[in-house]
Structure 1
């Protein structure tokens, strides 16, 4: 009886450790595990993932080859040359027309951390105006995105930016993607992209 109880506790502990383990989505060397959509530039430089406007100045995406439903995603980004971008969750794509929900990455005052539904309802929720200043406009920022069921919560540099519960998001499923916006002259750096499936 005592042995059985100890064994059950050990199994529970080992299971929780496995469930809580995060893994890297970007190896710092190449784009293995990712797919490029569009003609915008995606490359690795000094161990960082860089997206940059291409000659067509259109939308571009870099999506994970694997789909993710419930997860905690953490990453760091640095805005350069306007830097309009975003992180898509539970998404699909045809050409460069993406479906799903974008956690915004943008210059200060343009709602980084807010959630936008592309080709759908548009802005679902924006950060409070007083939280817009949490963005470091010239240095590295840390973003955490928690997606579980029909709830999405975003954090920027340790501050909760938005928290939304939405049935349509709850029904969604798909890949994670990084975006570069159209317009040209945009450059964003990314690193330490890690995911923990829930």
Structure 2
């Protein structure tokens, strides 16, 4: 599921609940070729797997992973609040009100694309999403 509109600068908040292990996330400034999504993803994953970190799909891979001491912020099996703010090349994420990443990247600053919810197939993953609010900056 993705926005039809491209969002360059935005502040997005949403809630998610993982009901089975697996990898998911929120793509931003992303484009689509069939099922191939190119762009950036804020990770949503089980504990110990960098929820709130930023990954570049079909590009450089992990840009910012989450330090071990922040891995306990995720509430497995419960509703979690994720906030993503992107302005130019500046990216910030928060999980349950706690800052997760804050960095600037020139390539992200040049990117354009949609916001989308991501889920990998297989593995029995199940993620629920609600209360998505995007504010264009």
| Structure with the bigger percentage of strand | 2
| Structure with the bigger percentage of helix | 1
The C-alpha deviation readout for 1:142-178, integer Å capped at 9, x for no partner, is 0000000001000000100011100000000110000
Q: Normalising by structure 2, what TM-score?
A: 0.97
Aligned-residue Cα RMSD (Å) equals 0.8
Q: Which runs of 4+ in 1 moved over 6 A?
A: none
2: distance between equivalents of 1:84 and 1:126?
A: 14
Where do 5+ consecutive residues of structure 1 fail to align?
1-61
Name the count of aligned residue pairs: 137
1:132 equivalenced with 2:71 (yes/no): yes
1:65 equivalenced with 2:27 (yes/no): no
Counterpart residue number, 1:82 = 21
Where do 5+ consecutive residues of structure 2 fail to align?
none
Q: RCO (CA 8 Å, sep 6+): is it higher in 1 or 2?
A: 2
2: distance between equivalents of 1:173 and 1:152?
A: 14
Q: What's the secondary structure of 1:113's corresponding residue?
A: coil
2: distance between equivalents of 1:140 and 1:102?
A: 20
Q: Normalising by structure 1, what TM-score?
A: 0.68
Counterpart residue number, 1:98 = 37
